[in-house]
Structure 1
Amino acid sequence: MYKLFISMALSPFVVMGAEKVHKSSIKRPNIILINMDDMGYGDLTVTGAQGYSTPNIDQLSFEGVRFTQFYSSSSVSSASRAGLMTGCYPNRISIYGAIKPETGIGVHPDEIFISQIVKEVGYTTAVVGKWHLGSEFGYLPLQRGFDEYFGLPYSNDMWPYGYLVRPGEVPTDRVMKRPELPLFNGNKIEKYIKTMDEQNSLTELYTKYAIDFIRRQQNKPFFLYFAHTMVHVPLPVSDKFRGKSEQGLFGDAMMEVDWSIGEVLKAVRETGMEENTLIIFTSDNGAWINFGMRAGSTGGLRDAKHVTYEGGQRVPCIMKWPAQIPAGWICNRLTSGIDILPTIAAIVGGKLPERKIDGVNILPLISGNKDFKPHDYLYYYDQKNQLDAVRDERFKLVEPHLYITYDGMLPHDDGTPGPRTKAYTDWALYDLRRDPGERYDIKSLYPEDVERLKQALDVMRKQCGDSNMRIKGGEVRPAGKVSR
Structure 2
Amino acid sequence: MFPAHQITTLLVSLTLPVIFQFLAPGSLPAAQPPRPNIIVIMADDLGYGDLSCYGASEIETPNIDRLAREGQLFRQGYCSASTCTPTRFSFLTGMYAFRQPGTGIAPPNATALIQPGTPTIASVLDDAGYETAVIGKWHLGLGEGKEPDWNGDLKPGPCEIGFDHCYLLPTTNDRVPQVYVDDHRVVNLDPNDPLWVGKTNPDGQPTGLTHRDTLKMDWSHGHNQTIHNGISRIGFYSGGHAARWRDEDLADKWVSHSARWIETHKDKPFFLFFSSHDIHVPRMPHERFQKKSKLGYRGDAILELDWQVGEVLNTLDRLNLTKKTLVIFCSDNGPVLDDGYVDGAVTQLGKHTPSGVFRGGKYSAYEGGCCTPFLTRWPGTIPVGESQAIVNTVDLATSMAELVKQPIPEEAFPDSLNVLNALLGKPDAAGRTETVEQGTSALGLRVGDWKLVAYRNKKNNGKTFEKTSEGLYELYQLDKDAGESKNVIEEFPQKAEELINRLEEIQSAPTRD
TM-score by length of 2: 0.74
Instruction: Report the 3-state secondary structure (helix = DSSP H, G, I; strand = E; otherwise coil) of the residue aligned with 1:69.
Output: strand
Which consecutive unaligned segments of at least 5 residues does structure 2 have?
Answer: 1-28, 144-153, 178-206, 218-226, 347-352, 460-466
What CA distance in whole angstroms lies between the structure 2 residues aligned with 1:138 and 1:246?
43
- Offset, 1:24: 2.8
- Offset, 1:428: 2.0
Matched residue type, 1:82: F
Instruction: Report the 3-state secondary structure (helix = DSSP H, G, I; strand = E; otherwise coil) of the residue aligned with 1:106.
Output: coil
1:191 to 232, 239, 243: 243
Which consecutive unaligned segments of at least 5 residues does structure 1 have?
Answer: 1-21, 183-188, 405-420, 465-474, 476-484
Q: Could you list the per-position Cα deviations for residues 371-415 of structure 1 after superposition, in whole angstroms to 9, with x for gaps in the alignment?
A: 3333232123344xx7623111201022353589xxxxxxxxxxx
* 1:433 is aligned to 2:484: no
Structure 1 pair 307/319, CA: closer, same or farther in 2 (3 Å)? same
Instruction: Report the 3-state secondary structure (helix = DSSP H, G, I; strand = E; otherwise coil) of the residue aligned with 1:79.
Output: helix
Instruction: Report the 3-state secondary structure (helix = DSSP H, G, I; strand = E; otherwise coil) of the residue aligned with 2:389.
Output: coil
2:161 to 128, 144, 148: 144
Instruction: Give the structure 1 partner of residue 96 of structure 2.
Output: 89
Instruction: Give the structure 2 partner of residue 395 of structure 1.
Output: 450
How many pairs are equivalent? 414
What CA distance in whole angstroms lies between the structure 2 residues aligned with 1:181 and 1:129?
23
2:429 to 355, 366, 372: 372
2:259 to 206, 211, 217: 211
2:37 to 30, 38, 42: 30
Is the 1:158–1:181 Cα contact (8 Å) retained in structure 2? no
Structure 1 pair 360/451, CA: closer, same or farther in 2 (3 Å)? same
- Offset, 1:270: 1.5
Instruction: Report the 3-state secondary structure (helix = DSSP H, G, I; strand = E; otherwise coil) of the residue aligned with 2:142.
Output: coil
Matches within 5 A, 1:312-461: 312-327=369-384, 329-356=385-412, 357-383=414-440, 388-402=443-457, 423-461=469-507
Is the 1:87–1:358 Cα contact (8 Å) retained in structure 2? yes
Instruction: Report the 3-state secondary structure (helix = DSSP H, G, I; strand = E; otherwise coil) of the residue aligned with 1:129.
Output: strand
Is the 2:86–2:105 Cα contact (8 Å) retained in structure 1? yes
Instruction: Give the structure 2 partner of residue 177 of structure 1.
Output: 235
Is the 2:77–2:374 Cα contact (8 Å) retained in structure 1? yes
Is the 1:381–1:388 Cα contact (8 Å) retained in structure 2? yes
Is the 1:302–1:438 Cα contact (8 Å) retained in structure 2? yes
Matched residue type, 1:430: Y
Instruction: Report the 3-state secondary structure (helix = DSSP H, G, I; strand = E; otherwise coil) of the residue aligned with 1:294.
Output: coil
1:231 to 260, 264, 279: 279
Instruction: Report the 3-state secondary structure (helix = DSSP H, G, I; strand = E; otherwise coil) of the residue aligned with 1:290.
Output: coil
Is the 1:80–1:285 Cα contact (8 Å) retained in structure 2? yes
Is the 2:39–2:326 Cα contact (8 Å) retained in structure 1? yes
What CA distance in whole angstroms lies between the structure 2 residues aligned with 1:99 and 1:354?
28
Is the 2:364–2:442 Cα contact (8 Å) retained in structure 1? no
- Offset, 1:325: 1.0
Instruction: Report the 3-state secondary structure (helix = DSSP H, G, I; strand = E; otherwise coil) of the residue aligned with 2:330.
Output: strand
What CA distance in whole angstroms lies between the structure 2 residues aligned with 1:432 and 1:149?
40
Instruction: Report the 3-state secondary structure (helix = DSSP H, G, I; strand = E; otherwise coil) of the residue aligned with 1:179.
Output: strand
Matched residue type, 1:242: Q
- Offset, 1:105: 4.9
Matched residue type, 1:369: K
Instruction: Give the structure 1 partner of residue 314 of structure 2.
Output: 266
Is the 2:216–2:231 Cα contact (8 Å) retained in structure 1? no
What CA distance in whole angstroms lies between the structure 2 residues aligned with 1:227 and 1:459?
32
Instruction: Report the 3-state secondary structure (helix = DSSP H, G, I; strand = E; otherwise coil) of the residue aligned with 2:291.
Output: coil
Structure 1 pair 102/303, CA: closer, same or farther in 2 (3 Å)? same
Is the 1:397–1:427 Cα contact (8 Å) retained in structure 2? yes
Q: Could you list the per-position Cα deviations for residues 51-103 of structure 1 after superposition, in whole angstroms to 9, with x for gaps in the alignment?
A: 32100101101111111111111111111100111111112233532111213
Instruction: Give the structure 1 partner of residue 171 of structure 2.
Output: 154
Instruction: Give the structure 2 partner of residue 166 of structure 1.
Output: 216
Further displaced range: 292-301 or 393-402: 292-301
Matches within 5 A, 1:65-80: 65-80=72-87
Instruction: Give the structure 2 partner of residue 101 of structure 1.
Output: 108
What CA distance in whole angstroms lies between the structure 2 residues aligned with 1:374 and 1:102?
38
Instruction: Report the 3-state secondary structure (helix = DSSP H, G, I; strand = E; otherwise coil) of the residue aligned with 2:290.
Output: coil
Structure 1 pair 381/121, CA: closer, same or farther in 2 (3 Å)? same
Structural RMSD (CA) = 2.9
Is the 1:429–1:442 Cα contact (8 Å) retained in structure 2? yes
Is the 2:44–2:333 Cα contact (8 Å) retained in structure 1? yes
What CA distance in whole angstroms lies between the structure 1 residues aligned with 2:85 and 2:46?
15
What CA distance in whole angstroms lies between the structure 1 residues aligned with 2:239 and 2:403?
36
Further displaced range: 248-257 or 421-430: 421-430
Percent sequence identity is 31
Further displaced range: 432-441 or 102-111: 102-111
Is the 2:72–2:425 Cα contact (8 Å) retained in structure 1? no
What CA distance in whole angstroms lies between the structure 2 residues aligned with 1:281 and 1:181?
37
2:345 to 287, 294, 298: 294
Structure 1 pair 442/119, CA: closer, same or farther in 2 (3 Å)? same
1:60 to 41, 47, 67: 67
